Structure 1
């Protein structure tokens, strides 16, 4: 599932010049500055009603408002996992959400994952190609995280989450509109490297971190070992929704020496699973299951 990383955001603060009561000139300048601040604040308030045309997050929100979708991701390059393709369908039934995913690996193996979300918890049932239950787990996630995971996960470097747990565009990229596309290109590789260090640290458990020696911990914290070659995303917008995301990343890591490379496309469209499949998935979470049980899903 896609991890959440906190962005170290900064906030612009308008500072009003000091006013010397003994100086009429300074007093006038102070009043003008105050008026200027009021005008700027008014403009910013008005602007907030007209979001940037490159704000792809609002085009993701459109899917959340709809409450259901199917996404298809195909990788042309993927050094991070064995995944070759993934088809995911998500829908909402009252306060509960459900998801079914078919994962195809490079060697031809496949698995199905069915999940539910309710009361801040996700329950996942992992099946092999024959329908055998291989694993069942639970974890705490947010509602948005569960719903958007199949869309966000392949392109997670394009997004951050701010201090109020709100999804936002990654500020280390330039964001430009190109026809019906929004194109994101890495613009600040140094800060991106620091972000990736934080991302890597978050992937370790406290026990794993404590087991590292001093040199290993120093190397882990060193952002200079991460050398992004290119990180690019292109979002296709249609009917005020994201319908396609192309991703292409190549990041060199000097220690431990590795090359992280992913490229491919995620396409999103209206929910395409039948009502009978939805009913089958929903019924799985109404009965006890254990390792080795066999489930017949189409």
Structure 2
């Protein structure tokens, strides 16, 4: 009986993930270096990892996007399918209900080796940004800061969120921090809002933070972003962790010029990741873009974007693929 009991205990409690800790005890599992993502392996060395991700929403067929009906059974089924297709990370755009985090920890605990990681997105006050056309609006800043604090606390199982239509809520008691790969701050930026913010606040001093700062070349909007990334870092440090950091961007506000774009607002202004830099953030920083095969219009109108070379050197037309 004692041997059976011991076997059951050993089978239930999986070995803890190996994490790096600096002299002050700050933990890291992932970091960026150059153009690579690195993971701290069981052999106590940093190794390059190729990140293969899947976006995961919070609803199911038959429900509106603002409804969050996914159950533990749904999440566990999705995690298994994502694993089987060869992905190693899930990207969520916003905070999910507590069941997402408890289900992911359960799935990885039962799986044992090669856990499924996640990137946590932090939703910006998108509607208010578009409506008011000013990122420095006091209410918008307060809303975004509150969302950042909530997201960090939710990941570490340290917050109770009251019900609000269209948003996740509940008691977050499961610490999923060891399965976090990175933070993804914000949503796609309305170009007219970015342009107007830069005009309204052209004299604002660049943001200089404890963990992230704006460079001398930063626009007022980029400086605003730096302040919010700095806040995200400060909130996470409270839990003794650092993870790589990025902000969401898309082709509409990329740093390239697209002379074939027919809509002027789609090539109006840039948000440049190079104008924000980590100051005291060993986990690192990276650039991230949403890229679609059908948007903006130049991507399907201009021949170089519509065709690519195959492995045999032939030119073939790129056809968008949609998966339900």
TM interval, short-chain normalised: under 0.3
**Higher relative strand content:** 1
- Which structure has the larger Rg? 1
Q: TM-score, normalised by structure 2?
A: 0.24
